[in-house]
């Protein structure tokens, strides 16, 4: 009987376990989970701190699910992995040998080396327990400071504000999320942030977190000024959890480089989710996708192929990475980002770009190459921006009205040639949303379902 070991009980780990059980009814499946919960929606913790969902509603698989599918869920941490010996050591002293292993350890918030970073009151936003801490600290704090400009920083700021805390959001640059948003899109979100009563500080960097008796009492900024606060939220980016394989000799970059079958450079070790770097057909390189649907799809493929390897067969199901997609709600404004939308950054900043915000993909901000154009349109809180490369829409960013989200996803995923429509989309007097909708309807009419890509 084969033994499948899965390290991490997130979207990737659990999807892999389900895929294994579908193909191997009797194999032994062990999931080791550092967090003491069954699978819960990690993106959902942003809604928990806003009081929109309960903890119970976040649980997507109850504990009984694991029993029913004969999956051994072990709460604890893997502290050492020897991939040559196919053995894992757990923090309670247990030693597990396996036939095939999946590394699905996710990613964690980067904690900068700042004086005061370990004070009580400094929070990051990775887990359900972090969300509970944000609620508890936010309720007690008179003021909170959030550092960072990506989605998670905004969600943290919104979370603190919801607890009626005076909230400051510190931005390094002169607008919000310049890696992704253009100036107009940043302005829409900033207007909403102010409307929520959150104080925005531009071109501001933190020098030190000030404390007394082990607790946060303020922050010292690089310009010498201070802000009094009792909580500090840090959301400057995330990093894949690679500690277990750092010295293993497998091929690593920012994450674990996997082949089309989600297999690392060692045949009995697979990787999926935030920790894996998968081939991306648009950028022709291996990229990180810190996204929930990507973790599910990668986990499923890994699980399927792990069964083949355990049975001594070559893996047979390749993973086809789709265009990265995220839908989120920021300060009451719906946001969708699809495919590659290009970067508004100066070149030197692109080179120093390393960390990725939660719920995002490296692909989004890769510079556009080839024959490229952008078109955009905006009314009030709604805006549409598309990126066109070599006659095809390769990315889109929608704020507000989301009726174009599905059509654009399908056009991008299917790499539909625009033909003469390209010049129409780029013309200054075109109603861009109408023109995209019309083009999509025509494409749908002439393209049978069987010829459209599965994800679309
Ligand atoms: C606040 C927030 C908002 C987000 N919003 C979005 C969104 O809007 N859209 C979107 O697509 N994605 C979003 N994401 C990202 C998404 O949640 C992740 O991409 C997804 O959860 C990755 O799944 P995973 O299985 O790879 O890793 P995870 O879900 O992180 O699971 C990994 C698990 O492995 C455990 N682990 C790590 N090391 C060990 C060890 N040594 N031993 C045992 N267990 C270990 C970890 O504790 C963790 O429980 C958000 C994430 C956060 C935190």
Task: Give the CATH number of the domain where residue 429 resides.
Answer: 3.30.390.30
In-domain check, residue 439: yes
Same domain as 393, residue 337: yes
Q: Is the pLDDT of residue 266 over 80?
A: yes
Domain endpoint, select from 310, 335, 367: 310
Question: 343 pLDDT band (50/70/90 cuts)?
Answer: low
Name the residue with the closest Cα to ligand 1, atom 30.
106
**Which atom of ligand 1 is closest in space to residue 32's alpha carbon?**
43
Same domain as 271, residue 184: no
pLDDT at residue number 329: 87
Same domain as 395, residue 420: yes
* Mean pLDDT computed over 165-191: 92
The count of domains in the chain is: 3
* Mean pLDDT computed over 134-152: 94
Question: 352 pLDDT band (50/70/90 cuts)?
Answer: very low
C-beta of 125 in contact with ligand 1 (< 6 A): yes
pTM over 0.85: yes
Q: Is the pLDDT of residue 2 over 60?
A: yes
Q: Is the pLDDT of residue 6 over 50?
A: yes
Same domain as 133, residue 217: yes
Question: 359 pLDDT band (50/70/90 cuts)?
Answer: low
**Which atom of ligand 1 is closest in space to residue 126's alpha carbon?**
53
Domain endpoint, select from 258, 281, 310: 310
Same domain as 422, residue 338: yes
Same domain as 331, residue 214: no
In-domain check, residue 84: yes
Burial of 451 (0-12, 13-18, 19+ CB in 10 A): exposed
In-domain check, residue 336: yes
Q: pLDDT per residue over 281-330, tens digit each?
A: 878 899 998 899 999 999 999 999 999 999 999 999 999 998 888 888 88
Q: pLDDT per residue over 377-411, tens digit each?
A: 988 889 999 999 999 999 999 999 999 999 999 99
Q: Best substitution site from 34, 48, 248, 329 to test ligand 1's pocket, by max atoms within 8 Å of Cβ?
A: 34
Q: Best substitution site from 109, 160, 292, 360 to test ligand 1's pocket, by max atoms within 8 Å of Cβ?
A: 292
Q: Is the pLDDT of residue 344 over 80?
A: no
In-domain check, residue 113: no
C-beta of 304 in contact with ligand 1 (< 6 A): no
C-beta of 291 in contact with ligand 1 (< 6 A): yes
* Mean pLDDT computed over 362-380: 80
Same domain as 286, residue 231: no
CA of 145 to the centre of ligand 1 (A): 24
Whichever domain contains 195, its CATH number is 3.50.50.60
In-domain check, residue 176: yes
Residues of the domain holding 224 = 122-235
**Which atom of ligand 1 is closest in space to residue 127's alpha carbon?**
53
In-domain check, residue 376: yes
Q: pLDDT per residue over 49-72, tens digit each?
A: 999 999 999 999 999 999 999 999
Same domain as 131, residue 100: no
**Which atom of ligand 1 is closest in space to residue 325's alpha carbon?**
11
In-domain check, residue 145: yes
Q: Best substitution site from 7, 8, 180, 296 to test ligand 1's pocket, by max atoms within 8 Å of Cβ?
A: 8
In-domain check, residue 319: no
Same domain as 447, residue 329: yes
Same domain as 249, residue 230: no
Closest among 8, 107, 47, 166 to 361, alpha carbons compared: 107
pLDDT at residue number 456: 43
Half-sphere exposure of 356 (CA within 13 A, CB side): 24
pLDDT at residue number 350: 42
Domain endpoint, select from 235, 265, 287: 235
Cβ pair 382, 362 in contact under 8 A: no
Same domain as 400, residue 348: yes
Q: Best substitution site from 59, 105, 131 to test ligand 1's pocket, by max atoms within 8 Å of Cβ?
A: 105
Question: 345 pLDDT band (50/70/90 cuts)?
Answer: low
Same domain as 364, residue 423: yes
């Amino acid at each position: 009987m084969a033994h499948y070991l899965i390290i991490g009980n997130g979207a990737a780990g659990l999807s892999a376990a389900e895929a294994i059980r579908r193909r191997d009814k009797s194999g032994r499946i062990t999931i080791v989970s550092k967090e003491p919960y069954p699978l819960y929606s990690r993106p959902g913790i942003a809604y928990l701190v806003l009081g929109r969902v309960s903890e119970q509603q976040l649980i997507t698989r109850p504990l009984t699910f694991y029993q029913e599918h004969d999956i051994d869920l072990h709460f604890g941490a893997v502290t050492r992995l020897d991939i040559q010996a196919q053995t894992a050591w757990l923090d309670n002293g247990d030693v597990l040998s396996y036939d095939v292993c999946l590394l699905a350890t996710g990613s964690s918030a980067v904690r900068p080396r700042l004086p005061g970073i370990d004070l009580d009151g400094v929070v990051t936003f990775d887990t359900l327990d972090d969300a509970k801490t944000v609620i508890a600290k936010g309720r007690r704090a008179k003021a909170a400071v959030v550092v960072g400009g990506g989605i998670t920083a905004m969600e943290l700021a919104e979370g603190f504000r919801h607890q009626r805390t005076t909230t400051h959001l510190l931005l390094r640059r002169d607008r919000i999320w310049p890696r992704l948003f253009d100036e107009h899109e940043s302005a829409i979100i900033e207007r909403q942030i102010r409307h929520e009563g959150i104080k925005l500080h531009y071109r501001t960097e933190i020098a030190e977190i000030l404390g007394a008796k082990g607790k946060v009492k303020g922050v010292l900024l690089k310009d010498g000024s201070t802000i009094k606060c009792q909580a500090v939220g840090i959301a400057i980016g995330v990093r894949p959890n690679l500690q277990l394989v750092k010295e293993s000799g497998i091929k690593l970059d920012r994450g674990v480089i996997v082949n089309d079958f989600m297999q690392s450079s060692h045949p009995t070790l697979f990787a999926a989710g935030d920790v894996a770097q998968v081939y991306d057909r648009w950028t022709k390189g291996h990229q990180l996708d810190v996204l929930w649907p990507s973790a599910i799809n990668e986990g499923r493929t890994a699980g399927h192929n792990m069964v083949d390897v355990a049975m001594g067969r070559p893996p047979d199901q390749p993973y086809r990475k789709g265009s990265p997609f995220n839908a989120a709600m920021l300060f009451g404004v719906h946001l969708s980002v699809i495919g590659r939308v290009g970067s508004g950054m100066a070149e030197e900043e692109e080179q120093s770009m390393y960390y990725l915000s939660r719920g995002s993909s490296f692909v989004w901000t890769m510079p556009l190459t080839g024959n490229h154009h952008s078109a955009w349109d905006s009314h009030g809180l709604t805006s549409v921006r598309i990126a066109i490369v070599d006659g095809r829409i390769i990315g889109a960013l929608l704020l507000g009205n989301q009726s174009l989200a599905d059509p654009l996803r399908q056009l991008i995923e299917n790499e539909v040639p625009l033909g003469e429509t390209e010049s129409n989309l780029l013309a200054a007097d075109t109603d861009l949303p109408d023109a995209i909708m019309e083009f999509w309807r025509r494409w749908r009419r002439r393209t049978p379902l069987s010829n459209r890509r599965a994800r679309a």
